[in-house]
Amino acid sequence: MNLKTQKKLAAKVLKAIEKRVVFNPERLEDIKEAITKTDIRGLISENAIKKIEKRGVSKVRVRKRTQQRRKGLRKGPSTKKGKKTARISKKESWMNKIRTQRKFLRMLKEQKVISNKTFSNMYSKAKGNFFRSKRHIKIYLEEHKLVKK
């Protein structure tokens, strides 16, 4: 029982590949007699010939991954591309640095660890990019004995 031509015709009518055309096993005799596209169309309307739908690509894994990235996961060194300055702009990194330094200086002044004069001097130094970090300020204060006791 060779139904190759019927399969080809059905594939053309259904606009699918032959692999996706399925015949009802109980109606094989009727299908064998079908030799024109019109006959095939009739059998399709009678559900003797069906088309299997295309399988899509599941997005479950993609959604899971994006969810984790939103949480801040999966962002290790191997996923990073580009320079540090490409990911965080120079301005943004400067803003982060200066804000922490100024906050630290303000806190020292409020706790009366440093005098107002020292504070203003250190503040202008920070503005001029003298200090690398908050730790650098601590080291500078200890070396120059500017900490009140």
Q: How confident is the model over 35-74, as pLDDT tens digits?
A: 999 999 999 999 999 999 998 999 999 999 999 999 999 9
Q: pLDDT class for 114, splitting at 50, 70, 90?
A: very high
Q: How does pLDDT run across 115-149, given as a tens digit for each residue? A: 999 999 999 999 999 999 999 999 999 999 999 87
Locate CATH 1.10.1200.60 in the chain. 86-143
The CATH code belonging to domain 86-143 is 1.10.1200.60
- When the pLDDT of each residue in the chain is averaged and rounded to a whole number, the result is 94
pLDDT at 1: 57
| CATH architecture, range 4-51 | Orthogonal Bundle (1.10)
**Residues paired with 21 in a beta bridge:** 51
pLDDT at 2: 80
